[in-house]
Amino acid sequence: MDIITEEVIWKEIEVSESYLVCSMYEQAASLASSILERLRHDYHDIATQDMLESISMVLLQAFNQIGRTSEIFDQLRHHFVSLKAIPAQVLLTGACFQIEQSSALGVREFLEEFLDGWSLGDGQYDAFIAEANVEHGSRLERHFILGIDEYLEVVEVYAVTLLATILEDVDLAISWVENAPLAEENRQGLLRRLHSMHSLKSTNLSQVSSLQSPTNNNATYLLKEPHEREGSPEALKGKHADYKMFRFKDGVSKLSEQIDTCFWCFRSVNLKFGNAKFVVSSGKIMLGCLILFICYVFRRKQATLKRIVRRQLIAAKRALVDLWQLAFSYQVNPLAAVEPLSAATRQGQ
């Protein structure tokens, strides 16, 4: 018979994690269940908290992926001698999976059973359960330890998230926290959060009841869509946009009226030279005014325009000169003119 050690168990856990990474969820769930079963019955003496947490996480994720989330709590009950033996992170992960599947009632019973029976000791929570030993006909007492932070995480999910938020029973959550084995500092912190949620809920209920009363004539208000109700962010945003558009249109119309008023007396001008009559329209008048304005600006800025044109011409001239010098600036060999003469002299000799 092979001796099973922690190293062998960890290798099997790594294999199950590999199945999970490779999307082989059936194989991962089967191997994880097998490992948990052996750790409970045959090798519980070598099972560590990290080991149980790792393999349980593989089981939970595999069951969630294959659509068997509703069986998660049953699997945990089967593979652990008590709910107190389930690691807190495993418990919370299973609860989150169940809440996601709209199974809040099952989660409530499971968390209540887990939280019941713990006593606050010296920096930790302790729980004792008696397990029957069938072989020896006796009862074995098991001792479980849970850290304060881990216990508070479970309490927060149960009281604040589940009871007060999802089930909307803030009074029950407050009552449970008041009687729970909590340190006074932690108890007061949770109670402050729950009381603020309770006051907010009461305020909302009073507002709804006042809106539904016939004296306020707000029946049509409640029948409106949320984005159509007065005071809602959507309604305010829509009204602000409509108001801006109205202001824009109103400004355009006023400007056009001012322009029409200015040129009203120049709609047409009748000119008479002897027996000849000329009718000048407002458009021609505006064109003539524009031409005169351009001529006026040109005359006033003539000196400035000349300076600008002269400056551009000088810059273009300098660029052409630099280009010309660059094109014809090459070094001439000073011996080039001497070499032909020496060659001719040698021929004469």
DSSP state of 232: S
In whole angstroms, give the CA distance from residue 74 to residue 109. Answer: 13
SS3 content of the chain, % helix, strand, coil (to 5): 70, 10, 20
Residue that wins the pLDDT comparison between 293 and 9: 9
pLDDT of residue 268: 54
User: Are 131 and 144 contacting, i.e. CB atoms less than 8 angstroms apart?
Assistant: no
pLDDT of residue 176: 95
pLDDT of residue 228: 45
User: Are 191 and 182 contacting, i.e. CB atoms less than 8 angstroms apart?
Assistant: no
pLDDT of residue 325: 78
pLDDT of residue 52: 93
DSSP string spanning 141-207? EEEEEEEHHHHHHHHHIIIIIIIIIIS--HHHHHHHHHHSS--HHHHHHHHHHHHHHHHHHHHHHHH
Residues sharing a CB contact under 8 Å with residue 30, sequence separation 6 or more, in sequence order: none
pTM here is 0.56
pLDDT of residue 208: 59
The answer on pLDDT for 270 being more than 80 is: no
SS3 assignment, position 279: strand
pLDDT of residue 204: 62
Tally of residues, the chain: 349
pLDDT of residue 162: 92
pLDDT band at 215 (very low <50, low <70, confident <90, very high): low
CA angle centred on 191, ends 188 and 197, rounded to 5°: 150
Residue that wins the pLDDT comparison between 239 and 170: 170
Q: Which two tokens stand for residue 295?
A: 């001529």
In whole angstroms, give the CA distance from residue 188 to residue 152. Answer: 13
The answer on pLDDT for 227 being more than 60 is: no
User: Are 269 and 246 contacting, i.e. CB atoms less than 8 angstroms apart?
Assistant: no
pLDDT of residue 337: 47
Residue that wins the pLDDT comparison between 254 and 68: 68
pLDDT of residue 220: 43
Residues sharing a CB contact under 8 Å with residue 80, sequence separation 6 or more, in sequence order: 36, 40, 86
In whole angstroms, give the CA distance from residue 199 to residue 130. Answer: 43
- Tell the residue number behind the tokens 């032909």, with chain if given: 340
